[in-house]
Amino acid sequence: MRIIGLRTLKTALGAAIAIIIAEFLGLKYAAAAGIITILSVQNTKKTSIIIAFQRLASTLLALIISCIIFMIFGYNPISFGVYLAIFIPLTVLFKLTEGIAVSSVLVTHILVEKTISVFWLKNELLLMVVGAGIAILLNTYMPKIDKRIKENQIEIENLMKKILLNMARELRGEAIQTENLSLFSELSKAIKSGSERAYRNLNNNIIVSDKYYVMYMEMRNMQFEILKYMRNHFTKFYMSFEQTKLVADITEKIGEQLHEENPVDTLIEDLRELFKTFKEQKLPETREEFENRALLFQFLNDLEYFLEIKRKFIKNKVSV
């Protein structure tokens, strides 16, 4: 278990460097640059850059508003309250809320010094530039997480495969409901973990947008929702007919061939052939057989949708 993570190390190092640079530049309240760095180091490159620019823009806005307010009402707590009453709604309007706290702290420096001279305005802007700039520089290094995403992919595919194979076994009359419930729970966690890493990977690519892993996780999540819907049918299957065995066979085949690179065209054709076979068979003779046949058709429709989601992903995937 790691006691100190990479983000913690970058935050500690960055805060120290920011203060040293601020002091070297002769800036007052140099420690504020370190605080800005602490608040600006994020989990991804893109987030770090976006927040840094938001805070820089909010600082400019804060300095303009505070200068006007202090000139009119003087340097006192009431003036600071009026400044906040104007500044906060404007940051919400311009989507700069990330900079409310930091920018207001910089404004308090002017409030304490009781001056809006060029020196102090430049001082506050440079504190923001140094603090946010160091955070951006440190966040240019992000460890690769492709390997861990690949591990998530393998885990997701293995769990889906087990679920489909278990469905085939249940269609043949085996009772394994408890095992499947556990598999569904594991699959939900694996997709959530994989999705978080996929989005983090996307936001760590500034110049080139690599959406493949995000698209993959979204595809598997959609398939997961279909699997949950399919699972509900098993509470209603109560008779074993010849058609049930055929559905079990195709379900097993889909499970065995489930893989990231499988275009599933052949599986979809096999599924449609099974639909044709069902239509050519004689009509159900009893109400129970009719109801079971209807449920099997719905189950097959769900399987087809499950495969179509994958085929659409294969056609639309973008790998840069």
The CATH architecture to which 146-316 belongs is Up-down Bundle (1.20)
pLDDT(1) > 50: no
Q: Are 271 and 180 in contact (CB under 8 A)?
A: no
Which of these, 121, 112, 115, 116, lies nearest to 76 by C-alpha position?
112
Read off the pTM.
0.74
Q: Which tens digit of pLDDT belongs to each residue from 14-52? A: 999 999 999 999 999 999 999 999 988 887 888 888 888
CA distance 32 to 15: 9
Q: Which tens digit of pLDDT belongs to each residue from 218-253? A: 999 999 999 998 887 766 555 556 778 888 899 999
Q: Which tens digit of pLDDT belongs to each residue from 161-216? A: 999 999 888 888 776 666 677 899 999 999 999 999 998 888 887 655 578 899 99
Q: Which tens digit of pLDDT belongs to each residue from 54-97? A: 999 999 999 999 999 999 999 999 999 999 999 999 999 999 99
pLDDT of amino acid 6? 78
pLDDT(101) > 70: yes
pLDDT of amino acid 319? 43
pLDDT of amino acid 45? 81
* Domain parsing of the chain, residue ranges: 6-138, 146-316
Q: Are 62 and 104 in contact (CB under 8 A)?
A: yes
CA distance 44 to 25: 29
pLDDT of amino acid 44? 81
pLDDT of amino acid 266? 92
